[in-house]
Amino acid sequence: MKLTIVGSVAFDAIETPYGKTDKILGGAGTYISIAASYFGNNSNIISVVGGDFPEEYINLLKNKNVDTEGLQIKSDKKTFFWSGKYHKNMNSRDTLITELNVLGEFDPIVPDSYQNTDYLMLGNLSPEVQMKVIKQLKKRPKLIVTDTMNFWMDIALKQLKEVIAEVDVLVINDEEAQQLSGEHSLVSAAKVISAMGPSYLIIKKGEHGALLFKGDKIFSAPAMPLVSVQDPTGAGDTFAGGFIGYLAATDDISFNNMKKAIITGSTMASFCVQEFGTKAIENLSKEEINKRINKFTDLTHFDNFGL
Amino acid sequence: MKLTIVGSVAFDAIETPYGKTDKILGGAGTYISIAASYFGNNSNIISVVGGDFPEEYINLLKNKNVDTEGLQIKSDKKTFFWSGKYHKNMNSRDTLITELNVLGEFDPIVPDSYQNTDYLMLGNLSPEVQMKVIKQLKKRPKLIVTDTMNFWMDIALKQLKEVIAEVDVLVINDEEAQQLSGEHSLVSAAKVISAMGPSYLIIKKGEHGALLFKGDKIFSAPAMPLVSVQDPTGAGDTFAGGFIGYLAATDDISFNNMKKAIITGSTMASFCVQEFGTKAIENLSKEEINKRINKFTDLTHFDNFGL
């Protein structure tokens, strides 16, 4: 099965109560690609970096079976750079620096070899870029998953709604679901958003887990309770990567399999936050992942019962 | 199995974005008793009301198989009264009126017929009152569950810790767990609090569900996603009532059965919030409860899997 990932490949500099980094590897496309690589997929990435982007980072992606033909390198420009500082409770952060650089004029090009992709993951980028990718695909993928954020709801709502109308699974957080739908209840929000197009809606709730909605069906996955969270950066993207990676590998988009994909995404995200940047998800073993998946089973399962 | 419940029996006046009540039946002891009544228990209540408390409310409890010998009636005094107004998001509220009345000088008396109780539920009252009840029991119950709140941590921490050292299960919310332990991570908070005495800790997270901790074992239960929450008053007490009611009825305090008790508590709480006051939990059928329990199974269960 072919999996294509669209998302930023970038530099991050992060400060949390547990430490601080220099410029390190970051970007939604990076986290998604690495997380999706553990399930036996060869994936493709569509993104852009500048001449300052180290070859070792590109090799890191290649070593994860990511085809980088769709990764444009603008040698006379600089890579997207984001810097942020998390507050004490880790639930909120201040952006210190955003240098769009190459991302400001990103014109995604889908290589011929990426045509016939079965699974398309549109990471959080402008709806315009997301739509350009959809339009270039000659055959509609079996499943299109898209991530977005409140920023695009604020400045490009019309274009965002056009993208949402084209996709199968929308991934947003709880506040964004409330903003997009105008509803406080997440159940009501899901109904409103589903009517905009996507059959599936995933609402991420950070440390409180995630909800999957399809029609009247709801699945609730907790986040793994952890002793320490070092750095939440990329957790949402890593979740999305585990989710689409599991679906593409199993090639089954039933509600039952989506539940497992959500647990897989939650598993990968639970690793991600335990170290800074991509460090914790760069070299996981199958055994470590399976052990964490089993922990989710222990965490949530109870025997059937009734009065 | 004998179940004894200690908690306020009171008047509430509630305002939420969905409506407003006059003085209605309220109090932790009331919610706990009603919720616990659905599992085949005869229970006992230890509480106090004034001469203004209507006989119809006492009959409501009696009709739920609640023995009211331990419910003191101070005919020349007034019943505890609380009035509050919820904010738009329902997650916070302002207390408008607190008239302690009879509760201010409450001296709990355990009737002889309540001795040999197997299950003791100490609702949120002063640690002094909670300890007075524990001390009057000639035989230690099989399980003591206690609820408390940040108010007692602020003004009676020493006495509260003495109570906590005596009990098996402590029920508090996430912020209270952080306050009591001085730890931000709930996993770390659970370790610190368990060292204070209780084998089991339940951390309530409101709309995000509840966590059960025992040693290194954790169980996570979601709250039922609902289209509308009319009034959150009493949800935590109703949760506790469903929890202790299920445990007392099944007389099994294993971790596996506690999981089911947590789901039962969550089920009862999910009914509670759908109408004002105790209205939604006054006349539930076995079928309605079983149906809601099954919804929790659908909401959380996924098939075992691995890579």
ipTM for the whole complex: 0.94
Interface A–B counts its CB contacts (< 8 A) at 108
- Chain A residue with Cα closest to B262: A302
Contact flag B307-A38 (C-beta cutoff 8 Å) = yes
A128-158 in b/e burial notation, b at 16+ Cβ within 10 A?
Answer: bbbbbbbeebeeebbbbbbbbbeebbeebee
The whole-number pLDDT of residue A101 equals: 97
pLDDT at B1: 63
pTM over 0.90: yes
| Residue A62 touches chain B, beta carbons under 8 Å | no
Q: Among partner residues A38, A89, A185, which is closest to B226 by beta-carbon distance?
A: A185
Instruction: Say yes or no: B177 contacts chain A, CB-CB below 8 A.
Output: no
Instruction: At B128, list the tokens.
Output: 């002094």
**Parallel, antiparallel or unpaired: strands A10-16 and A81-86:** parallel
For helices B157-164 and B127-136, what crossing angle results, to 10°? 40
How far is residue B211's CA from residue B171's CA, in Å, rounded to a whole number? 10
- Give the integer Cα–Cα distance in Å for A121 and A7: 8
Interface-testing mutation among A92, A216, A305, with chain B (most B C-beta atoms within 10 A) = A305
A178 min Cα distance to partner chain B (Å): 11
Residue B218 pLDDT > 70: yes
CA distance B40 to chain A (A): 9
pLDDT in tens, A28-63: 999 999 999 999 889 999 999 999 999 999 999 999
Tell me if A300 and B304 make a contact (CB, 8 A cut-off).
no
Chain A residues touching B305 at Cβ < 8 A: 260, 263, 293
Copy the structure tokens of residue A177: 């679901």
CB of B229 within 8 Å of a chain A CB? The answer is yes
The answer to whether B306 contacts A294, with C-beta atoms less than 8 Å apart, is yes
The reply to whether residue B306 touches residue A300, judged by beta carbons under 8 angstroms, is: no
Average pLDDT, chain B: 97
Q: Which residue of B has its CA nearest to A39?
A: B307
- Which chain B residues are within 8 Å of A274, Cβ to Cβ? none
Q: Do B307 and A219 touch (CB under 8 A)?
A: no
For A38, name the nearest residue in chain B, comparing CA atoms only. Answer: B307
> Do the beta carbons of residue A82 and residue A97 sit within 8 Å?
yes
Asked if residue B158 has pLDDT above 70, the reply is yes
Q: Give pLDDT tens digits for B95-123.
A: 999 999 999 999 999 999 999 999 999 99
A140 touching B (Cβ < 8 Å): no
**Residues in chain A with pLDDT < 70?**
1
Say how far apart CA A27 and CA A278 lie, in whole Å: 10
List all residues 6 or more positions away from A151 whose beta carbon is below 8 Å from its beta carbon. Answer: none
Position A1 scores a pLDDT of 63
In A251-270, the residues whose Cβ lies within 8 Å of chain B are 256, 259-260, 263
Nearest chain B residue (CA) to A205 = B208
Q: In the predicted model, is pLDDT for residue B199 greater than 90?
A: yes
Interface probe, candidates A287, A300, A303, chain B, greatest B C-beta count within 10 A: A300
Structure confidence at residue B271 (pLDDT)? 98
Query: Within an 8 Å CB–CB cutoff, is residue B307 touching chain A?
Result: yes
Which residues in chain B are contacts of A256 at CB distance < 8 A?
Answer: 302-303
Nearest to A89 among B38, B184, B205 (CB): B184
Q: Are A106 and A125 in contact (CB under 8 A)?
A: yes
Token reading at A78: 């600089």
CA distance to partner chain A, nearest, from residue B219 (Å): 5
**What are B267-290's pLDDT values in tens digits?**
999 999 999 999 999 999 999 999
Q: Tally the C-alpha atoms within 13 A of residue B9's C-alpha that lie toward its C-beta.
A: 30
pLDDT tier for residue B41 given thresholds of 50, 70 and 90: confident
CB contact under 8 A, A208 and B205: yes
Q: What is the pLDDT of residue A30?
A: 98
**CA closest to B290 among chain A residues:** A306
Alpha carbon of B95: minimum distance to chain A alpha carbons (Å): 23
CA distances from A151 to A197, A207, B37, B74 (A): 20, 21, 50, 60
Kind and range of the H or E element at B290? helix B286-300
Task: List B residues 12-31 in contact with A (Cβ-Cβ < 8 A).
Answer: none
Pick from B186, B227, B290: CB nearest A185? B227
pLDDT-based confidence at residue B88 (cuts at 50, 70, 90): confident
Q: Which residues does chain B have within 8 Å of residue A209's beta carbon, measured at their own beta carbons? A: 208, 220, 222
Taking an 8 Å cut-off on Cβ atoms, the answer to whether A220 and B184 are in contact is no
Q: Do B300 and A220 touch (CB under 8 A)?
A: yes
Q: Is A287's Cβ below 8 Å from some Cβ in B?
A: no
